[in-house]
């Protein structure tokens, strides 16, 4: 991904200046400053914050989404339910939470490639994919994915032929989208758990394909 999407400018808000201190312009620094202030006042526990971040990064995302994809690859009946009513299909797995209540799953095929974006903010199925990547929240990705999806995908290293239809899905506070990638070649003998290990967060957003164990893509 090029710097045009991965990076976005920082801005300084004079209205937030204090008489004796300057609020950091970098969002990460501002977040750290806020965390330090709340910790100092005894309102938050840094250990609890670290545990929350670790849970979303390593235990929830993107493992839950990957398990759903792998199950759909090996279970045609589950896949049919998933595409018809994803929230109801996922509910028995216990993966639905505050950020994953109303899920719509869209399937990649040899004729169609799907790409997910949130043009207004950064709506995202945290409960399935974990923490959203920084570029997903950046204004260039949010705007250009709609105007030039093929160009954006090319910057991620995914060049698609003109014969392939690209569909862009705009997530909202009410509906979060999840891409069901194509199953890669050479995976017929793999177990569900082994298949889940191949599935990446980027593939479930639609900016990548799932690679086969030998490095070939579907």
What residues are annotated to the active site?
118, 121-123
Q: Is the dihedral of CA 109, 111, 112, 113 positive or negative?
A: positive
Cα separation of the two ends of the chain: 21
Give the residues across from 176 on adjacent strands: 103
Q: Count how many Cα atoms sit within 13 Å of the Cα of residue 186 in the half-sphere of its side chain.
A: 10
- Phi, psi (degrees; rounded to nearest 5) at 115: -135, 135
CA distance 142 to 34: 27
| 184 vs 199: CA distance, rounded Å | 10
* Residue of 112, 176, 116 lying closest to 145 (CA atoms): 116
Angle, in degrees to the nearest 10, between helices 46-54 and 27-40: 140
Q: Where are any strands of DSSP class E within the chain? A: 103-107, 112-117, 165-170, 176-180
CA 210/CA 196 separation, integer angstroms: 10
């Amino acid at each position: 991904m090029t710097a045009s999407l991965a990076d976005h400018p920082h801005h300084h808000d004079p209205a937030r200046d204090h008489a004796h201190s300057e609020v950091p312009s970098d969002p990460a620094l501002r977040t750290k400053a806020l965390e330090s202030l709340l910790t100092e006042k005894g309102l938050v526990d840094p250990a609890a914050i670290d545990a929350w971040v670790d849970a979303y990064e390593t235990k929830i995302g993107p493992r839950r989404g990957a398990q759903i994809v792998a199950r759909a690859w090996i279970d045609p009946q589950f896949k049919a339910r998933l595409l018809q009513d994803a929230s109801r299909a996922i509910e028995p797995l216990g993966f639905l939470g505050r950020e994953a209540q109303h899920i719509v799953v869209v399937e990649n095929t040899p004729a169609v490639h799907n790409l997910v974006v949130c043009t207004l903010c950064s709506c995202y199925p945290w409960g399935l994919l974990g923490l959203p990547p920084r570029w997903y929240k950046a204004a260039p990705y949010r705007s250009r994915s709609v105007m030039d999806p093929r160009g954006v995908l090319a910057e991620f290293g995914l060049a698609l032929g003109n014969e392939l239809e690209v569909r862009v899905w705009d997530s909202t506070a009410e509906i979060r989208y999840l891409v069901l990638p194509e199953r890669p070649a050479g995976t017929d003998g793999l177990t569900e758990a082994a298949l889940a290990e191949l599935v990446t967060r980027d593939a479930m957003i639609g900016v990548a394909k799932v690679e086969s164990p030998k490095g070939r893509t579907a």
